[in-house]
């Protein structure tokens, strides 16, 4: 079993940052649902803590509050440019220290979290009527995340 202790502080920061980065990419895809989507991110972490993520690495991950240094990322454009490389670096860190099963669970957690955020707010329509569960731009980000992170959200 891989634990937080196997990562130095900077590595652990990168590992814990990745799920929030993926969620931020979805949130930045469309304007309009930011508050609901941000709340869904926090709720997803809370639910994962309550039910237990299934392995020690993910349990330690969800007990660390999701955070991203927004000043380091800057604008939405910088987020879009930098996030894929940062996600890949986090995956590589986990791959280097964790079992293949733990790495797969980590990938699934990132993709599942992004999917939860994408479904948090109906896009389009009028007063929530006739809107889409996931907008085209959010789906594009989800597809890009799947290609970047690997695995599948479903």
Helix or strand run (H / E) with residue 69: none
Local structure of 132: helix, strand or coil:
strand
**CA gyration radius, the chain:** 15
Higher pLDDT, 29 or 110: 110
pLDDT band of 48, cuts 50, 70, 90: confident
Q: Where are the domains of the chain?
A: 4-149
Mean predicted confidence (pLDDT) in 117-128: 65
Which pTM was predicted?
0.84
Mean predicted confidence (pLDDT) in 71-79: 76
pLDDT band of 64, cuts 50, 70, 90: confident
- 38 pLDDT more than 60: yes
Mean predicted confidence (pLDDT) in 45-72: 77
């Amino acid at each position: 079993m891989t634990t937080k202790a196997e990562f130095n502080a900077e590595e652990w920061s990168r590992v814990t940052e990745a799920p929030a980065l993926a969620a931020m990419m979805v949130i930045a895809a469309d304007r309009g649902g930011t508050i609901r989507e941000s709340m869904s991110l926090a709720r997803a972490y809370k639910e994962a803590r309550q039910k237990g993520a299934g392995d020690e690495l993910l349990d330690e991950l969800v007990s660390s509050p999701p955070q991203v240094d927004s000043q380091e990322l800057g604008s939405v454009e910088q987020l879009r440019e930098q996030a894929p490389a940062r996600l890949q670096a986090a995956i590589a860190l986990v791959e280097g220290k964790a079992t293949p099963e733990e790495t797969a669970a980590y990938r699934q957690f990132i993709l599942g979290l992004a999917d939860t955020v994408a479904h948090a707010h109906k896009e389009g329509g009028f007063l929530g009527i006739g809107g889409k569960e996931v907008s085209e731009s959010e789906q594009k980000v989800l597809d890009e995340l799947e290609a970047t992170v690997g695995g599948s959200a479903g």
